[in-house]
Amino acid sequence: MSMQRPIATTRSATGISTGKLAVWWLIASEIVIFGGVLGSYIMHRIGHPEWASHAEHTNTWLGALNTIVLLTSSLFAVLAHNAAEMGDGKKAAKFLWYTVGGALMFLVVKSFEWTHEIQTGLTITSHTFWSFYYVAAGIHGLHVIVGALIMGIIAMDAAKGKDLQRVEAVGLYWHFVDIVWIFLFPLLYIGK
Amino acid sequence: MSSTTAEHGHEGHGHDAGHGHHAEPNFFHKYLWSTDHKMIGMQYMFTGLLMAIIGGFAVYVFRMQLAFPGMSVPGWGRVTATDYNALVTTHGSVMIFWVAMPVLIAALGNYLIPLMIGCDDMVFPRLNRLSYQIFLISVLVLIASFYAQGGGFGGAWTAYPPLSAKAEYNLTTHGATLWLLAVALEFAAFLLGGINFVTTVMNSRAPGMKMFDVPIVVWMIIIASILFMASVGPLIAGAVMLMFDQTLGTGFFDPNKGGDPVLWQHLFWFFGHPEVYVVLLPAMGITAEEITTFSRKKLFAYKTVLYTAVGTGALSFFVWAHHQFIAGIDPRMANIFSVTTLLISIPVAEMCFVYIATLFGGSIRLQTPMLWALAFIAEFLIGGVTGIFLGASGADIYFHDTYFVLAHFHYTFFPIAFIATFSALTYWFPKMFGRYMNETWGKVHFWGTIIPFNFIFIPLFLLGARGDHRRIYDYTHFPDLMKPGMQDLRVLATLSLVTLLAFQLVFVVNFFFSMFKGAKAENNPWKANTLEWQAPSPPPHGNFPDGLPNVYRGPYEFSHPDRQEDYWPQNAQS
């Protein structure tokens, strides 16, 4: 059933569009989810210095590569937003697809990394360090997948010039996913 | 603001023209697939009330076992120890997650927010529908868990590991995981709902409605939603970890594998204690609406209520470890949490004082909703005062895990989840269904609930003070807990419970009879000021057929000296 947008959605007492406001609240609630995982992990690392011997086996170079990939994809998200502001839907869509490309590349690198680690016997049950490693990066990876899907949908609409304000909203979300990785990278790959 | 006033320039052009003259939507679109906030609110309300039957049945069965150990309980049969564990878990989790949360926040929030802030719907109607659907799936998963091999989860609603993490301890491999999945889905539903609520109130208030013109109940639901969003994250993370502990054999909470069982307690109570205020604040908000309306007096200190609510919310993030005084936490930490816990009673008490001050000098009308509102303050006060015993770590070491704790939190949760809910249902019933509930039967139900309620939990306070331990299936095995009089108190509590449950039938009959046969109610039966009463009863799709209202004043302008009438609707121009 096609649905007409209620008047409520078009109002803006704060001056911020409803979509953007909702994404900010979504990000706020996501921060506490990641805060729960990472806070628990940090407390464990402080209490167990010996976990460093497990952390040694993570691949810092692949982690760094993925950091660069995500940061570059965030740049494309900004360019997409810029194009959307100019009202150029086609260009916004193009840059959004580049961002999706970055997300996919991140996932490819990640799957190589995980395959290698699992083959060498470092699985989620090997040690609580590895449990945290897979769970934290896994929840983050889930966000990357969801973000890529949403960006794909928005890119298809944006190419037709529809709902260009959504480009900025999804960009905000994507930057958040990026920032979570900026926390994960030193915690899981550098802290050894 | 200027863009929002424009929509009034051409009334009938916006929402109304699009929907008003369409053919009546079919049954499926009207009742099951609706995006209308009122219908979604009703869906939450009826689902929540149906779940209350499950929670109520569970407590009936296990209380019978405690009073008359080994008897064959009518409607269930003999209660085994496994049954007992599953029943107490079901009672706790259902009443909090599937009754209090959906009815107080989701149902009332959905129904009231757009009406009270004067707009036609939530800002994201389809997100709203999705939220209910995820909630419904969580209900189905929970019900499915009762029938899984080994039965429903029996690790208590707090799900402490290792009991909840290891199937060889809880004996419910599937029940435990399904329970956890249901809880996680429920959280997802309320996160979506919460984002929707907060965005709606921030952005879509009626033109002219400033921050301090928003009715207290809306404020409270919003503060509660923000508290929920800010506190549930760590538990979602914890639920993922616990699920992996259960299914994959990780050791997040297993010290043998380098984990820590107390970590779960931190993650759980970091959510679990703000959760108390997540449900308390809407209940306080409901009470504020009724106290002012039925004493025909302006709310004594609007801003004080607001600031204390925000203060309560902020403090509630720093009290969680008072649940863990005997869990092996650092005693220095226990001191800090004792102080914060005792501090939080100040803002809550302040709210109660404000309500009492509002009553002072008012022309009080003791209709059923008002009775419930007054009872809420009185009964919640007992819950709050006994909490001070438990917040002090010295006393808590003695009281911990006794029936004293149980009676304390039932004196807080029962007023929240039921007394406030009944007051809200009786108060907004004429708006929801366009008819009055029967006043006499309403009062019968009121006294039939309040009196047995006290007769359940005062005996349990006494038992707890005598050291009666919780979570014991059959006290006859514990001679120390079978001293003279102790079993009599258990029997008294159980019989009072059965009486209380029986009186709920009065409510059910009154509710459904009044829905179809009650006396017709006008738009503003209580002569209240807030915007929902200026819409027709029941409000049509789009809420305000004569155009969305503008707001000129605060919500509690009762008995203004310059006016003939003792109320002054928020949207009345003069």
Of residues A82, A73, A45, the one with CA closest to residue A147:
A73
Query: How is chain A split into domains, by residue range?
Result: 18-190
In this complex, is the C-beta atom of B29 within 8 Å of any C-beta atom belonging to chain A?
A: yes
Positive or negative, the CA dihedral B147, B149, B154, B159 is negative
pLDDT for B241 beyond 50? yes
In this complex, is the C-beta atom of A36 within 8 Å of any C-beta atom belonging to chain B?
A: yes
Q: Which of A7, A32, A51 has the CB atom closest to B233's CB atom? A: A32
Contact indicator for B196, B131 with CB cutoff of 8 Å? yes
Picking from A39-43, B17-21, B479-483, which range would have the lowest pLDDT averaged per residue? B17-21
The residue among B247, B250, B252, B266 with the most chain A CBs within 10 A of its CB, best to mutate, is: B250
Q: Which residues of B touch A4 (CB under 8 A)?
A: 15, 18-19
Residue B9: pLDDT band (50, 70, 90) is very low
Helix, strand or coil for residue B78?
strand
Number of inter-chain CB pairs under 8 A, A vs B: 156
Q: Which residues of B touch A34 (CB under 8 A)?
A: 233, 237
pLDDT for A148 beyond 90? yes
pLDDT for A60 beyond 60? yes
Check residue B26 and give its pLDDT: 79
pLDDT for B5 beyond 60? no
How confident is the model over B536-548, as a mean pLDDT? 93
* Mean pLDDT of the residues in chain B: 92
| In chain B, % of residues over pLDDT 90 | 88
Buried b (16+ CB within 10 A) or exposed e, B549-560: bbbbbbbbbbbe
CB atoms < 10 A from the CB of B178, how many?
A: 21
Buried b (16+ CB within 10 A) or exposed e, A145-159: eebbebbeebbebbb
Of residues A167, A163, A169, the one with CA closest to residue A94:
A167
Going along chain B from its start, the domains and CATH numbers come out as: 33-534 (1.20.210.10)
Buried b (16+ CB within 10 A) or exposed e, A91-106: bbbbbbbbbbebbebb
Contact indicator for A147, A174 with CB cutoff of 8 Å? yes
Check residue B8 and give its pLDDT: 41
Most distant pair of Cα atoms in chain B: their distance: 78
Q: Contact A18/B29, CB-based, under 8 Å?
A: no
**Antiparallel, parallel or unpaired: β B77-78 and B72-73:** antiparallel
How confident is the model over A150-174, as a mean pLDDT? 94
Check residue B328 and give its pLDDT: 86
Distances (CA, A) of B160 to A53, A68, B238, B251, B263: 30, 41, 11, 14, 10
Check residue B569 and give its pLDDT: 95
Output the 3-class SS for B168-183. Answer: HHHCCHHHHHHHHHHH
Contact indicator for B100, B530 with CB cutoff of 8 Å? no
pLDDT for B10 beyond 50? no
Q: Contact B267/A40, CB-based, under 8 Å?
A: yes
pLDDT for B67 beyond 80? yes
Of residues B313, B191, B333, B316, the one with CA closest to residue B262:
B333
Positive or negative, the CA dihedral B490, B496, B499, B505 is negative
Burial bucket for residue A59 (CB in 10 Å: 0-12, 13-18, 19+) = middle
How confident is the model over A161-172, as a mean pLDDT? 93
Q: Contact B199/A21, CB-based, under 8 Å?
A: yes
pLDDT for B32 beyond 90? no
Check residue A191 and give its pLDDT: 87
Contact indicator for B201, B218 with CB cutoff of 8 Å? yes
How confident is the model over B82-100, as a mean pLDDT? 96
User: How confident is the model over A130-143, as pLDDT tens digits?
Assistant: 999 999 999 999 99
Helix, strand or coil for residue B520?
strand
What are the phi and psi torsion angles at B60 (to 5°)? -60, -45
Q: Contact B199/A22, CB-based, under 8 Å?
A: yes
pLDDT for A1 beyond 70? no
Q: Contact B236/A26, CB-based, under 8 Å?
A: no
Check residue B77 and give its pLDDT: 95
Q: Which residues of A touch B18 (CB under 8 A)?
A: 4
Cα distance between residue A66 and residue A63, in whole Å:
5
Name the CATH topology of A18-190. Four Helix Bundle (Hemerythrin (Met), subunit A) (1.20.120)
Contacts of A39 (CB under 8 A, 6+ apart): B234
User: How confident is the model over B399-441, as pLDDT tens digits?
Assistant: 999 999 999 999 999 999 999 999 999 999 999 999 999 999 9
Positive or negative, the CA dihedral A179, A181, A184, A186 is negative
Residue B23: pLDDT band (50, 70, 90) is low
Please name every residue paired with B72 in a beta bridge, in sequence order, or none if there are none.
B78
Residue B257: pLDDT band (50, 70, 90) is confident
Contacts of A184 (CB under 8 A, 6+ apart): A38, A136, A137, A140
Check residue B167 and give its pLDDT: 87
Cα distance between residue B332 and residue A192, in whole Å:
31
